[in-house]
Amino acid sequence: MRILLIVLLVWAVPGFGQIARPKKPVAAKPPVVEKAAAPATSWPVGSLQIEGNRIYSSEQILASAGLKVGQLAGKEEFEAARDRILATGAFESVGYKFGPAESGAQQFAASFQVIEIAQVFPFRFEALTVSEADLRNFLKQKEPLFDKTIPGTKEVLARVAKATGEFLAKAGHRENIAGKLMGEGTKELTVVFGPTSLPSVAEIKFTGNEAIPTQTLQMAIAGVAVGAIYSEPRFQQLLDTSIRPLYEAKGKIRVTFPKLEAEPAKDVTGLIVKVTVAEGPTFKLGAVTLTGAPAAATLVKEAKFKTGEPANFTEIEEGVERIRAIVRRGGYILVKPETERMIDDKEKKVDLVIHVDRGAMYSFGKLNIEGLDIIGEPQIRKLWAMKPGAPFDGEYPALFLTRLKDDGYFDNLGKTKSKLNIDEKTKIVDVTLLFASDGKAPPAIGPERDAQEKRERQRQPQ
């Protein structure tokens, strides 16, 4: 009876005596997620910046990009703007980035990152029958980057030559224009644009020269004149920059080139240019005075001018450079000396007045050192003599590195250089010395170098 009762209880009470099993989960409905609005593929441009530019202004680069603040733009427009900047030929690389403006407005904040072609040259035009000022204004609109200087690459020369041809065609002159990188004397190169139809110089001859051999004169001017488009004004300029200094080194400061004759060469394409030289008398160096700097007499003495002797203006320029270096050591790193000639044709002498514009004085701030370990750096600092607050010697960093090399302080030392950080507001100059090894071993200096050599000897087999 009891057994029957228990069986009935087990059967009647739900769940009693059963093994508990997890209930099959009921599939829940996925939560309703409200999707955020996807960013627009095109928004107005709220801001545009240029990063990395040194030669060209941001305004010039943005003008080449063809993208403006307020314009509706997206990825395609930014890529097209980047391609237009690259197409100018003035940059090694161009990148871009854009994203929502920080203000929260539906606008893009965008920037272009550029690396410019570092070497640029002045340019000018030759033998054109139009106003050069009008031509340059046209080029500013056509090629915003190329105002005063341009890279000397083929692509850039071709672009400017093509734009120049377009301007000439509008003025009714159809000419094929070419640009060529040429020497304008001994100190700088210039890009010269001119008609390809004009003849070029094939050979140069001199007559009337006695103080300087013909071969010397020909070698001095050949590099800048042979192969160049010929025009008398330009050739006179080349004579002044290439030949005149040779004569002025001999005191012949009144040398002139009164006659130029050009005739077609027989054996080659081009012109033979005959130059008549009027050498003139030899002038001696008279009195030398200096203005604009204290201790003028001492500076003139340090320059080592040779008064009473033929006025050698090559040596005179070297003397002026010595004056500049001395003034620079006093903290006047932007000093500009200018030489005025007082020529006495009757006495055949030339007096000099050297005007020195010292500019502001700069002080030394701090020394930074890169590329040395914790042993080498303190020793370099100990050797560095210029103190913070002292007038900044513009010659000292280079001389310091040269002395380190000459005295053999380093082993396995690669390139070394100094970098100046000039604060124009405070007139304080910080110096960074950059050291690099050749990859074989880190530089060793002083006692550490001796210890390193000892360790190396110990490693050698006995």
Listing DSSP states for 56-108 in one string gives S-HHHHHHHHT--TT-EE-HHHHHHHHHHHHHTS-EEEEEEEEEE-TT-SS-E
Compute CA 20 distance to the chain's CA centroid, rounded to the nearest angstrom. 84
* DSSP label at residue 200: B
- Find all residues with CB under 8 Å of 282, minimum gap 6, and list them: 250, 251, 252, 310, 348
pLDDT of residue 404: 85
Mean pLDDT of 24-52: 62
**Average pLDDT along the chain:** 85
- Asked if residue 410 has pLDDT above 90, the reply is no
Name the pLDDT band for 28 (thresholds 50, 70, 90): very low
Q: Which of 228, 244, 233 is nearest to 191 (CA)?
A: 228
Reported as a single tens digit per residue, the pLDDT across 192-228 is 898 888 888 999 999 999 999 999 999 999 988 998 8
Domains annotated for the chain, with CATH where assigned, are: 43-116 (3.10.20.310), 119-198 (3.10.20), 200-280 (3.10.20.310), 284-357 (3.10.20.310), 363-458 (3.10.20.310)
- Asked if residue 261 has pLDDT above 50, the reply is yes
Reported as a single tens digit per residue, the pLDDT across 93-150 is 999 999 998 887 789 999 999 999 989 999 989 888 889 999 999 998 888 998 889 9
Mean pLDDT of 440-453: 49
Reported as a single tens digit per residue, the pLDDT across 323-350 is 999 999 999 999 999 999 999 999 999 9
Between strands 349-357 and 363-370, the pairing is unpaired
Q: How many CB atoms lie within 10 A of CB 101?
A: 17
pTM beyond 0.75: no
Half-sphere exposure (Cβ direction) of 51: Cα atoms closer than 13 Å: 8
- Find all residues with CB under 8 Å of 377, minimum gap 6, and list them: 369
Compute CA 125 distance to the chain's CA centroid, rounded to the nearest angstrom. 23
Q: Say if residues 281 and 252 touch (Cβ distance below 8 Å).
A: yes
